[in-house]
Chains A and B, each alone.
Chain A
Amino acid sequence: MSQATLIKCFAESLGIPAEQVTDELQYNTIPQWDSVAHMTLIAALEDAFEIMLDTDDIIDMSSVAKAKEILARYEVSF
């Protein structure tokens, strides 16, 4: 469930197909995931999982895998 939500957040915020959202996908490695899209992404994740991310976590969220790791700390399980 969470996995599907996560992929949806990434795909919609970055404007990329869902298949492209893999654990390996990294911040700033595709033009769609730049600092501006990152803001949209953070807002989408907070909205979808009803959480409030710390600034440090926002900065650390440098890949999809990392995003899962961080979200886990907010009691989102994958």
Chain B
Amino acid sequence: MNNLDFFYQQPSPYSLGAAEKQQVLHSHLAALDAHHQQHCELYRRIASSQTAAGWFDQQVFLPVRLFKEYELKSVAQQDVFKVLTSSGTTSQQVSRIALDRETAAHQSKVLVKIMQHYLGVQRLPMLIIDHPSVVKDRLSFSARGAGILGLSTFGRDHTYALDDDMQINLERVQAFIAKHQGKPVFIFGFTFMVWQYFFQVLQQSGQQLDLAGSVLVHSGGWKKLIDIAVDNSVFKQVAFATCGIQRVHNFYGMVEQVGSIFVECSHGYLHAPDYADIDIVDARTMQKLPDGQQGLIAVSSVLPSSYPGHRLLTEDLGTVFGEDNCPCGLNGKYFHVHGRLPKAEVRGCSDTHAAEVKP
């Protein structure tokens, strides 16, 4: 029912100009609003409440945290073909995203369209900066496992750089490099893993790897790195110094909207593809903010039809700098993510420290 042919027919995932995108994306998202109202009773209840207050220009944005507490789905149980889970960094609760075949197919297809823009249509030899057991249990994917499997499509000769004890298997990595000498290689890993278990180890041991000409794609958030004062430019410098890697693309995406990811362009900005959009929201007024102002990131995606995740309010802070006029030449809004929303102070007499009672 969720026909995305119009989007798929575009020459690149960054084709639509602002005016056209506004029209096409808006009507598609409005159709999804109606679809989820009709098929997800819990979503309908939230929507009734939110629209009464007139937030977000009458659009309904679900806080992502809700997917950790409720099974929000717009399809019958027998049509759920896979449940994606993610573990939050702060709580032990996990998001549960119900996928039917259609949504899962759109997710894969859109991811292909976007990644091909950066990797080309050829499948490249792929070096994964993780250990192989992260994808072993195919029935219960972790977010890391799902991410790796999702991106594995774009590579061949998949080689894991780490062993199960998180040590670099240098022998294996060197053999991989030797085998594909002189050809472009696709490297993928989670930002923190790549830094901690790969770049840092190489840097400290003074080892150099020859991965010049390869493309590094990484994701997963900067929080842990910002805590140790590593930002995007430091990350890129070390990528070049240790491995000779010059093309580095971070991407921003969430398990609640797999597929329509926001990839970092050659000028260091994350870009909204045709399939998705980003808005910055003022948490106090629950209204959208103009470009240039920092606020909560709200993401929209035309993909989710099996669960009401097409418009989400994240707990990340960001700034949109403009639309269609990034120096890299790509269309779409471009932005930076500044990190997680700082936590609120805990006050009062409630049970806020469950850990306190542990013997």
Decide if A and B touch, CB cutoff 8 A.
no
Interface residues of B (CB under 8 A from A): none
